[in-house]
Amino acid sequence: MKFGIDRLIKDKCLRAPLEGKRVALLAHPASVTEDLTHSLDALVVADGIDVTAAFGPQHGLRGDKQDNMIESPDYTDPAHGIPVFSLYGEVRRPTGQSMGTFDTVLIDLQDLGCRIYTFITTLRYMLEAAAEHGKAVWVLDRPNPAGRPVEGLTLRERWESFVGAGPMPMRHGLTLGEMGHWFVDTLKLDVDYRVIEMEGWQPGTGPGFGWPLNERLWVNPSPNAPNLSMARSYAGTVMLEGTTLSEGRGTTRPLEIFGAPDIDARAVLTEMERLAPDWLSGCALREIWFEPTFHKHAGTLCHGVHIHPEGRFYDHEAFRPWRLQALGFKAIRQLYPDYELWRGKDFAYEYTEDVLAIDVINGSPLLREWVDDRVAEPGDLDALTMPDEAAWVEQRISCLC
């Protein structure tokens, strides 16, 4: 199959509208061609393309910021001598100065298919800035490695944030190019928007179900996105960022595991199985011990759970990572009623103020309230969530490529 960047590089007809234009690139470390050349390097030497600027999202164009919520500076690219503007530094939205450096911006970002992954918010901000300044936006499309399934509560009104770009469920099932169409339509943006689509993407076909296994190598789009299992789990495990539990940062398997020094993971697994065994389908769960080298519980032995949505254990349609992780929280609350599970309001998650991180992540307090309600059952969360999921499946139809 071909990603958008590879089609653009190889097809002069696709590139023709860029001739005579100043071109910028919004990219990160996973922005590579099929031969692993970084997209910036490939575009600079492509005929008919005049690259005049670049932009980096969270973690930077080079992916140099390991931890979460660490800002990147602007700088001049040492190889090509062009300005590189950070969209996760002093600003989150492109400034008028940076928008003046190009006519068309190419966006080549590997997404994970999850609302909270900030690259889709950066896409929205760039589209809005382009509409304001009369610039063109092209998305060089890439696969959604989580595929087409939809899961999770829809972000509620007034809960938008840098990790919540709009009213969509946690796992949205769109590519970045398709998400751009949704933003243009929903926000009614008057912008010159184009998607260089992929060739041969088959999100419903195994074994990759979204990611072309054995055809394309996985390159981390952010430092703690090391493999396909993480991408599949992320719509659930990202909620751990709003808790006191470790999500595995500081280990070699971040956002595939969860645990803490003061829980009995074997008991948690047993309680999860008792509460909603069908929510555990499509993967294997394994009791583990781990000691993070940095971040939460650094240097302390943790008892936890490893989620394995891979190999013979993986069932693409059955795996529901958001419900699985929610069930983990529920099991802990049932076993330890007074456990300090949620990070407090003093933790300014993605620069929000006076609000719990878990609520920012989920786009409302509904998930947390379900976990903390001792009498609420799995069916109660399904009753809240399933209408949201069904509505999104219908809403996104017009955006699918």
How many whole angstroms separate alpha carbon 342 and alpha carbon 289?
A: 22
Q: Which token pair is 313? A: 């254990």
- pLDDT, residue 69, reads 61
- pLDDT, residue 68, reads 60
Average pLDDT per run of 10 along the chain, which is 401 residues long? 97 96 97 97 96 95 68 90 94 95 98 97 98 98 98 97 96 98 98 98 94 95 95 98 97 98 98 98 98 96 98 97 98 98 92 92 98 97 98 96 84
CA atoms within 13 A on the CB side of 190: 3
Domains and CATH numbers, the chain: 4-216 (3.40.50.12170), 228-392 (3.90.1150.140)
How many whole angstroms separate alpha carbon 79 and alpha carbon 165?
A: 34
* Residue written as token pair 């803490």: 260
- pLDDT, residue 350, reads 82
Collapsed DSSP state (helix, strand, coil) of residue 104: strand
Per the CB < 8 A criterion, the answer to whether 326 and 367 are in contact is yes
Phi, psi at 233, each rounded to 5°: -85, -20
Q: Which of 149, 114, 122 is nearest to 28 (CA)?
A: 122
Positive or negative: CA dihedral 79, 81, 84, 90: positive
pTM tops 0.85: yes
- pLDDT, residue 264, reads 98
- pLDDT, residue 66, reads 58
**Measured CA distances, 93 to 30, 90, 130, 264, 265 (Å):** 22, 9, 11, 44, 42
Collapsed DSSP state (helix, strand, coil) of residue 325: helix
Q: Which token pair is 165? A: 């770009």
How many whole angstroms separate alpha carbon 45 and alpha carbon 40?
A: 9
Buried b (16+ CB within 10 A) or exposed e, 149-158: bbbbbbbbee
